[in-house]
Structure 1
Amino acid sequence: MAELEESDYALLAQFRHTLRQFLVFSEDKAAGFGLTPQQHQALLAIRAAPEGGATIGYVAERLILKPHSASGLVDRLETQGWLMRAPSPQDRRQALLILTDRAREALEGLSATHREEIRRLRPMLTDLLMRLG
């Protein structure tokens, strides 16, 4: 392993700071819709899931959660009107997660805003990654 130089620490600190800026931006935007960051991430994962693939297990995998934690998260989203459950046609024991119109509209606005912020941060992140490489 190569020894780190002082400039490496500065680059790593700047990289983490830039990532944190994006996370704070994301948290604020999600809160504007009444969502926690984890709820926003779950809705986005469900929206991006392959056809017929949005299950509690899928949410657990994508958010790196234990299945019981993902189940609680999905329960809260369902109670708040962000999603519905439907029996899977392949396995009736499994529920598919379906976003409500409200969730789709919120995600459309959130995702467009996030894409613009990523585009704004891309030059800084690219530069930092190149210098860390």
Structure 2
Amino acid sequence: MPSSRRKVKPAVATADYEALASFRYAVRRYLAFTEAGARSVGLTTQQHQALLAIKAYSLSRPMSVGDLAAELLLRHHSAVELVSRLERGGYTERRADPEDRRRVLISLTPKGEGVLEALSTKNLRELRLIAPSFAALLEQLEKLSSE
């Protein structure tokens, strides 16, 4: 058979599409769960993500508005507005960096800590429930990529 008529193996096999779709569906279900949780306490998904980023980042060093923008892949002015909304809701507070007065540091208030802890408890419980299916999907993807 001439080389121009050989059947070329597709770059992405049917099983690859199925695995990717299954994984994306599982991720989307988890995200929908976390989005519903955030809405149930009056937060947007982005506000919840900001609280989580502030908490995690602040465990090792103070977080600036610029740091938050980088963590959430936002422009600086968008992060400023997000922090303003969180501050108006009583979830965060701002203060000038004592080492560089031009830098604004953000932290969670007790209200922000409480809301984040409640949401994180539910989200971790859900992650523990779905972890086996995620592990199986990742294993399936790993097998496909090695073939």
Structure 1 stretches of at least 4 aligned residues deviating more than 3 Å after TM superposition: none
TM-score, with length taken from structure 2: 0.85
Corresponding residue number in structure 2 for 1:38: 46
Identity %: 42
2:92 is aligned with 1:86: no
Instruction: Answer yes or no: is the 8 Å Cα contact 1:52–1:96 preserved in 2.
Output: no
Give me the whole-angstrom Cα distance separating, in 1, the residues matched to 2:102 and 2:75: 19
Rounded to whole Å, the distance in 1 between the matches of 2:96 and 2:73 is: 24
What secondary structure is seen at the aligned counterpart in 2 of 1:93?
strand
Q: Structure 2 unaligned runs (5+)?
A: 1-9, 143-147
Q: Which residue number corresponds to residue 15 of structure 2? A: 7
The structure with the larger Rg is 2
1:124 pairs, out of 119, 133, 141, with 133
- Which residue of 46, 50, 69 corresponds with 2:78? 69
Q: Could you say which residue in structure 2 is the equivalent of 1:20?
A: 28
User: RMSD of the alignment, in Å?
Assistant: 1.2
Runs of 5+ unmatched residues, structure 1 = none
- Please tell me the residue identity of whatever aligns with 1:19: V
1:56 matched to which residue of 2? 65
- How many equivalent pairs are there? 132
